[in-house]
Structure 1
Amino acid sequence: MSHHSEHAAEHTPEAIRHRLSSGVSQDYLKDSVYGAIDGAVTTFAVVSSVAGAGLGSGIVIIMGLANLLADGFSMASGNFLGTRAENQAADKAKREEELEIDLHPEGEREEIRQIFARKGFEGETLDKVVEVITADKARWVKIMLQEEHGIGPDRPRALRAAFATFIAFLVIGAIPLVAYFINLLKPGLIANPFPVACVLTAISFAIIGSLKARVVGQNQIKGILETLSVGALASGLAYGIGFLLRPFAEGL
């Protein structure tokens, strides 16, 4: 099917009716992508700093895993609490609008009138719009939330968003440690795990950049280069700090 045909199929009356009736689903891809970016950057930064300090594979694994679990949980918790707070604020705004409609119906009806007058409605058409909206309290509250507070009817689920972030952080964040785990299980198989970790992490950065570009509608090449640049900068800084602090690690 051609691109034009796909768009035409999406805009048939039946397709539009189904899309609107199903509502807006929470896009957990965004949470996964940003969790993955943070996981890859922070874990490889730990790997780079330890490698720069000249420490062994065991230290890399211990510090990498500790960072992976603690930072991943921290990021997921922050996402959970932030999303939950947004939902609670939306619930509060809904209660306030319901109360305002009960206490000051004429004032709230005038707000609806002015909102739609600013959209270009006037005369009998405007009167009819106001009449239809204010005839149903649930519809009235919904419109007020959207127009006055910018709150849509569909809310993201905080626990699912946090879970998506945490899993992506763990999966992608573990990639820089793979070569070190192999070196630990099969000593000598990989002479120097750090270059291998660099290559694996660069590949994961490229994949994440491509996904991020899709999420935000960015050019694929630009998204990949942007994520690679951020990862390289963070890793370079971490490696440099580890190298500068190397004298302090000589006794380890």
Structure 2
Amino acid sequence: MQTANAPTLEPTRDGLPPMPPGPPHEELHFAAVAPVREVVAGAAQGLVLPFAVTAAMAGLGAAPSQTILAGLAAAAAGAASAGLGHALAARDAAARYQAERVREEEESHLYPDRERWEVAAILHRYGVRGQLLRQAVEAIASDRRRWVDFMMRFELDLSEPDPGRAARSATILAVAQVVAGLLPVLPHALAAPGAALGWSAALTAAALVGLGWLKARSEGLPPLRGAVQAVALGGAAAAAAWSLAAALA
């Protein structure tokens, strides 16, 4: 029964009614946008290693120039590792997707009845029954590309990778990591030797708090917990580096 205030949904050309009014279909939060999320992740990773290295060098009593060079080397190495690692992972994901798609296409030709049954089994889990189930299976299997797309998404839980986005993500991660890695190093170049480590620790901790808060928020987790975890991770890495340096000094 339709209420007086309920909108009438007129079917469109393909039989699908227009979307009823309601909240935005896709909510875009600042920290949930993919490039921003990658900047946050890369920067958070880029802070820890250079700070741990500069802390260790300070613990060894190294000259400021040596501490700076070591921190810069750590930032560059971390950025290269992150960028290349992400690029290789994206390449492997694309190769796996293509191989699985070829296999699904072959199986839809060689074993069409079995593949139709698998479509029916997937839809059955979502409560589709009887004649409606048979009609849905035939509708999906009537177009081979759509059929394979369905199996890739709902049987294998695989989405087609975007090669351009993978390259952009690798670049963003690497740049964010190397830029963030400069932050723990700057005090050793600008502040007095006795105060440099304190300034470096303060700047790194503040940056980790902000990045941890943003990362947790983008993942729907309590922001405070994300901030605390990020600072704890950086502190643990720095403490381990400092302790090792002190033991070797």
Shorter-normalised TM-score: what interval?
Answer: 0.7 to 0.9
1:40-79 → structure 2 map (5 Å cutoff)? 40-79=47-86
Q: CA deviation at 1:31?
A: 3.0
Query: Tell me, which stretches of 5 or more residues in structure 2 are unaligned?
Result: 1-18, 27-31
Aligned to 2:10: none
More helix by share: 1
Give the residue type in structure 1 aligned to 2:196.
P
**Among 205, 221, 238, the residue aligned to 2:241:** 238
User: Aligned partners of 2:104 and 2:232: how far apart in 1?
Assistant: 46
Aligned to 2:39: 32
Could you report, residue by residue, the CA deviation over 1:175-196 in whole angstroms, capped at 9, with x for unpaired residues? Answer: 001112224xxxx5x7521111
Q: CA deviation at 1:160?
A: 1.3
User: Aligned partners of 1:223 and 1:204: how far apart in 2?
Assistant: 12
Give the residue type in structure 2 aligned to 1:239.
W
User: Aligned partners of 2:227 and 2:177: how far apart in 1?
Assistant: 18
- TM-score, length-normalised on structure 2? 0.83
Match of 1:192, SS state, is helix
1:137-216 → structure 2 map (5 Å cutoff)? 137-153=144-160, 155=162, 157-183=165-191, 191-216=194-219
Match of 1:150, SS state, is coil
Aligned to 2:6: none
Aligned to 2:16: none
- Equivalent pair of 1:40/1:201 in contact (CA under 8 Å): yes
- Equivalent pair of 1:40/1:176 in contact (CA under 8 Å): yes
Query: Tell me, which stretches of 5 or more residues in structure 1 are unaligned?
Result: 1-9, 20-24, 247-252
Q: CA deviation at 1:28?
A: 3.3
Q: CA deviation at 1:244?
A: 1.7
User: For the aligned residues, what is the CA RMSD?
Assistant: 2.2
Match of 2:155, SS state, is helix
User: Aligned partners of 2:20 and 2:67: how far apart in 1?
Assistant: 54
**How many residues are aligned here?**
225
- Indicate how the Cα distance of structure 1 residues 13 and 100 shifts in structure 2: closer, same or farther if over 3 A, else same: farther
**Among 225, 228, 238, the residue aligned to 1:225:** 228
- Indicate how the Cα distance of structure 1 residues 235 and 28 shifts in structure 2: closer, same or farther if over 3 A, else same: same
% identity of equivalent residues: 29
